[in-house]
């Protein structure tokens, strides 16, 4: 855990102050890395450590301990959004749409492996970097849920609109990290090319959302006229039909949901399943049994395969997409027997948390069953429910959580039904932190077809 005190200007040197015995310790006694933010920032730039920020956090966690320091309207709108994307009834509405995209993805991949791969019939295999395909899957699945329509990213010749949207999302993700630490007004005055590219990318993303909103409105009007066949019109249609949020708020929230993505955690999940064949077989056995009993119903199939959810949690434990969860306490609190004043930025550092033997038994082991309700991790302690924080917690947790969780589970379910996964190396993946945590080099996965 990391805490930041705004406006402090202590020396930029790292120090761990001596402990005071008895009573709650003062805020100034918290071990720290130096509170001069600008000096720390310049050091990071000079040493090229931004891409290894997650490793820096882990080292600091080990060196200074689990706590150190570095220098009614929103809620109402959020509750309205939750009804369409978070509650169980909403999940049941959009789950078939995610399942359609996941099955299409696997059909497309299976056709490619069978026609371009090597090996005997029924056991054709192909080794590839799945990251571009996973990126398209994530966008296609999210669009289907949010807009109620497909955008054709699995097509051999996607539309110009779809290709422009893919470019915009890629540019937005690529240009964001360098801009996080520089004042936007300075970049605007300097007319920095990076800022121009970033702004242009967001213009395209918002234009895409605007066009989809217009189409959604037209479909809703047709539904009012009796042209709808009872199909789910997407989260956008539900929000517009409810009429409780302004179009600007709808556009902003839909765009934010679109900007998220599951492609990177899916890369990590496929890699871990590939290098842990025993785990892969246990998850597959549960998936096959559940799929058969569910007779193709995706909701029932996921309910009967809790190891799928455990696989996602285990992946995000080792490779959190965002490496911190941040909060400003509204009142003074005590953390680890240190007094922390209200208004202090408090960060939970997820990367070292997920790899700490004080929190998880044998944290280096990829074990989806550690999340099963009947087998709590031995080291869970009283805070067991807060060990999985990849999506945040409370009212401000990631609003796209249910979409992302089910999107990943459904794709893994159909991949395990269709393929056996292997990797050429079981060595740890090197990772880097940009806007999100990702592999330095995308892992190559061998997909071998299975009989269905």
Which are the contacts of 428, defined by CB distance < 8 A and separation ≥ 6?
Answer: none
Q: Could you list the beta-strand ranges (E) of 123-228.
A: 125-128
Beta bridge mates, 438? 432
CB 60 within 8 A of CB 66: no
Token pair, residue 378, equals 């031995």
CA–CA gap between residue 395 and residue 319 (Å, rounded):
23
Beta bridge mates, 433? 437
What are residue 444's phi and psi, to 5 degrees? -90, 130
Nearest-10 Cα torsion for 6, 9, 13, 17? -70
Token pair, residue 401, equals 């959580």
CB 179 within 8 A of CB 202: no
Is 398 annotated among the ligand-binding residues? yes
Nearest partner of 254 among 397, 130, 142, 127, judged by Cα: 142
Q: Which DSSP symbol is given to 15?
A: B
CB 412 within 8 A of CB 306: no
3-state DSSP assignment of residue 377:
coil
CA–CA gap between residue 71 and residue 34 (Å, rounded):
7
Q: Could you list the beta-strand ranges (E) of 243-332.
A: 324-327
Token pair, residue 154, equals 């699995």
Helix, strand, coil shares of the chain as percentages rounded to 5?
Answer: 55, 10, 35
CB 447 within 8 A of CB 417: no
Beta bridge mates, 3? 69, 346
3-state DSSP assignment of residue 349:
strand
Angle of CA points 381, 383, 384, to nearest 5°: 70
3-state DSSP assignment of residue 86:
coil
List binding-site positions. Answer: 398
List binding-site positions for heme. Answer: 398
């Amino acid at each position: 855990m990391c805490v930041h005190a705004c406006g402090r200007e202590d020396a930029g040197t790292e120090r761990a102050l001596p402990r005071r015995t008895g009573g709650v310790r003062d805020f100034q006694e918290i071990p720290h890395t130096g509170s001069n933010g600008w000096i720390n920032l310049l050091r990071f730039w000079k040493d090229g450590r931004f891409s290894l920020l997650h490793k820096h956090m882990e080292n600091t966690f080990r060196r200074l301990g689990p706590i150190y320091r570095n220098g009614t309207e929103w809620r109402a709108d959020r509750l309205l959004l939750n009804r369409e994307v978070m509650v169980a009834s909403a999940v049941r509405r959009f789950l078939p749409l995610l399942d359609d995209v996941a099955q299409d993805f696997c059909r497309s991949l299976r056709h490619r492996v069978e026609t371009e791969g090597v090996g005997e019939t029924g056991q054709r295999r192909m080794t590839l970097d799945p990251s571009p395909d996973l990126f398209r899957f994530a966008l296609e699945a999210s669009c289907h849920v949010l807009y109620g329509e497909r955008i054709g990213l699995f097509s051999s010749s996607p539309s110009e609109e779809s290709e422009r949207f893919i470019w915009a999302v890629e540019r937005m993700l690529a240009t964001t990290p360098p801009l996080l630490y520089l004042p936007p007004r300075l970049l605007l005055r300097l007319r920095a090319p990076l800022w121009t590219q970033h702004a242009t990318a967001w213009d395209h993303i918002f234009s895409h959302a605007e066009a989809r909103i217009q189409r959604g409105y037209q479909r809703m009007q047709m539904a009012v006229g009796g042209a709808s066949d009872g199909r789910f019109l997407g989260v956008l249609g539900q929000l517009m039909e409810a009429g409780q949020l302004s179009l600007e708020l709808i556009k902003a929230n839909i765009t934010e949901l679109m900007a998220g993505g599951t492609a990177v955690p899916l890369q990590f999940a496929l890699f871990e399943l590939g290098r842990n064949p025993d785990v892969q077989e246990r998850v597959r056995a549960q998936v096959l049994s559940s799929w058969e009993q569910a007779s193709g119903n995706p909701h029932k199939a996921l309910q009967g395969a809790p190891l799928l959810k455990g696989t996602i949690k285990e992946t995000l434990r080792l490779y959190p997409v965002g490496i911190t969860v941040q909060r400003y306490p509204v009142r003074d609190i005590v953390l680890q027997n240190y007094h922390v004043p209200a208004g202090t930025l408090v960060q939970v550092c997820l990367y070292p948390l997920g790899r700490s033997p004080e929190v998880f038994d044998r944290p280096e082991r990829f074990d989806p069953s550690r999340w099963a309700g009947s087998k709590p991790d031995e080291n869970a302690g009283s805070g067991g429910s807060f060990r999985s924080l990849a999506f945040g917690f409370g009212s401000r947790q990631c609003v796209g959580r249910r979409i992302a969780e089910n999107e990943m589970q459904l794709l893994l379910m159909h991949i395990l039904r269709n393929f056996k996964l292997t990797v050429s190396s079981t060595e740890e993946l090197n990772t880097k932190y940009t806007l999100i945590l990702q592999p330095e080099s995308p892992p190559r996965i061998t997909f071998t077809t299975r009989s269905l």
